[in-house]
A and B are shown apart, each in its own frame.
Chain A
Amino acid sequence: NAGVTQTPKFQVLKTGQSMTLQCAQDMNHNSMYWYRQDPGMGLRLIYYSASEGTTDKGEVPNGYNVSRLNKREFSLRLESAAPSQTSVYFCASKERPNYEQYFGPGTRLTVT
C-alpha cells in the first residue's frame, strides 16, 4: 500500500516548455486534488476531481490542465511553463469530503 505517489520528484523546465505531473493513489479514494505550495503561503488548490470523470477548477487554475484518467490517476499538465509556476506541487486524495486527506511526497518544479 504505497498511498499517494507522484512523479517526477524534481524537474527543471525552460520557459515555454510543457510537461505533465503524474499522480496515483491505491486507496480507492473518490476525490483527488492538485495543490501548489509557495514560500510563506498556504497550499493553494489548482484543480480537483470529486469523483472519476469529473474535474473542477480550484483557486489558481490558470496555466494548468488536468485529467482524471481513471479512479487511481490524476495528472496535471503545464502547457507552456512560466517562471511564476516555479513551486512545489502536491497531489492529494480522500475518500469523502470530510474524511482525512492524504498527500503525496511532492514534485519540486523550477522554471527558468
Chain B
Amino acid sequence: KNQVEQSPQSLIILEGKNCTLQCNYTVSPFSNLRWYKQDTGRGPVSLTIMTFSENTKSNGRYTATLDADTKQSSLHITASQLSDSASYICVVSAGTGGFKTIFGAGTRLFVKA
C-alpha cells in the first residue's frame, strides 16, 4: 500500500535554532517527492521538488534530502524564524505520469521567540 509517514507529528523550537523533519514513504513506482509549507488557514505552497536522481535541494533556509534506496526524505530548516511556524507536508507522486499523489499528514512546527 502506498503510504507517506512523517515525524514528528509536532515540534516546538526556539527562534534561531535549526530543526529537521522526517518523511518515510512506501510509494512505488516513485516519480518525485515534494515538501510543502502550509500556513494556518491557507493552502499548501511548494518548497522543493526532487526526482529519483536528486539527493539534495535547497530553497533559502530550507534544505531537503532524498535517499531513494531507503525511501526517506528530510527537510532541514536553518536559523528558524517565527514565520516558519506552519505545517510541513511531504508529498510523493507515483507512476510514470505522476497522477497518483500521496500526502503525508504533516509536521506542525511552532517557532517560539
Contact = CB atoms under 8 A, between A and B. Distances in A.
Nearest to B6: A42
A61 to B, nearest CB: 15
Nearest to B5: A42
How many chain A residues sit at the interface, stated as a range, is 20 to 34
A45 interface: yes
A42 B46 contact: no
A41 interface: yes
B43 A97 contact: no
Contact of B43 (A45, A98, A106): A106
The 8 closest A-B pairs by CB, nearest first: A103-B43, A42-B103, A97-B98, A98-B98, A43-B103, A97-B97, A42-B105, A100-B46
Q: Is the interface of A mostly helix, strand, loop or mixed?
A: loop
B31 interface: yes
Contacts of A34: none
Given A97-B97, A98-B98, A40 B43 contact: no
Interface residues of B, number: 22
Interface string A24-65: 000000000001000011111100101000000000000000
Interface in A92-109: 92, 97-98, 100-101, 103-106
Interface of B: 4, 31-32, 34, 41-46, 49, 89, 93, 97-99, 101-106
A65 B47 CA distance: 31
Interface of A: 4, 35, 40-45, 48, 50, 90, 92, 97-98, 100-101, 103-106
A45 B91 CA distance: 13
A98 B32 CA distance: 8
